[in-house]
Amino acid sequence: MQLGDFGFGWQWLPLTDTLAVCKFSAIASMLVEKTGIGLRFIDGNHENFDKLSLLPVGETGMREVAPGVFHLPRGMRFEIDGASFLALGGATSLDRLARTPSVSWWEAEAITTRDVEACGSETVDVLLTHDMPLQCGLRSDRAQSGFGIKADMDWYLNRLRVAEVVETVRPKWVFHGHLHHRYERDLRPELATTVLGLASDKSPLGLSSVVFDTQVQTIHLTEVEG
């Protein structure tokens, strides 16, 4: 499972004069076929939401963007080995003012009240998000984005909505990306929630990924390279 900023719809591979596919999704699909391992992803803030929203949601509740490659819509629930999961993609682009609407930025990137409502109230074992919940706080060097008050307030509101879902569904684990920084933090005792943020794909595998054992619902640390 990939935790957002999948990069859907940024580059297109023409198949015919009237048909094209997302280039990165096609590459991922070839790896799925080669390995036999399916791929699911939640949206981040760097997806072409105009194109993604046009794809139908199938009977499984997912969007198939390429053979074997599926998008998990916000609010989708599923189980693996009895462990329950909830998907809540979305985040705000802090550098939004430097981006072009419908070219490198899409308004649908941010989590909405409707997305929060779609998550429901039933407890869940694992919450998959792109943004971090507000309960985590921030390291002192990340207290502000550096992109101005408006960017910081948009980010605060998005994290607040993630926090609202955490308070409601009380997951044992929250896995997220977005900050490109690996950390682990336990929230206050009554929540009994551990948040794990992952680094970017340009970081060593041990920082940018985690192995989650669905049967005992704990993580296995991957070896950190370098």
Q: Which structure tokens are listed for 179?
A: 């900050």
Interatomic CA distance for residues 163 and 157, integer angstroms: 10
Q: What are the residue boundaries of the structural domains of the chain, listed by start?
A: 2-220
Q: Using one digit for the tens of pLDDT, what is the confidence trace for 103-125?
A: 999 999 999 999 999 999 999 99
Strand partners for 85: 78, 126
0.75 exceeded by the pTM? yes
CB atoms closer than 10 angstroms to residue 17: 6
Burial of 114 (0-12, 13-18, 19+ CB in 10 A): exposed
pLDDT band at 17 (very low <50, low <70, confident <90, very high): confident
> Which run of H or E residues covers position 185?
strand 183-186
pLDDT band at 128 (very low <50, low <70, confident <90, very high): very high
Q: Using one digit for the tens of pLDDT, what is the confidence trace for 183-221?
A: 999 998 889 999 999 999 999 999 999 999 999 999 986
The answer to whether 197 and 179 have CB atoms below 8 angstroms apart is yes
Q: Using one digit for the tens of pLDDT, what is the confidence trace for 20-73?
A: 889 999 999 999 999 999 999 999 999 999 999 999 999 999 999 999 999 999
pLDDT band at 137 (very low <50, low <70, confident <90, very high): confident
Which of the two residues, 18 and 128, has the higher pLDDT score? 128
- Which are the contacts of 11, defined by CB distance < 8 A and separation ≥ 6? 22, 23, 24
Q: For residue 140, is pLDDT > 60?
A: no
Q: What is the pLDDT of residue 52?
A: 96
Q: For residue 132, is pLDDT > 80?
A: yes
Q: Quote the DSSP letter at residue 12.
A: E
Q: What is the pLDDT of residue 163?
A: 97
* Range in 10-19, 82-91, 92-101, 102-111 the model is least confident about: 10-19
> Which run of H or E residues covers position 196?
strand 194-197
Kindly report the CATH number that applies to the domain delimited by 2-220. Answer: 3.60.21
pLDDT band at 16 (very low <50, low <70, confident <90, very high): confident
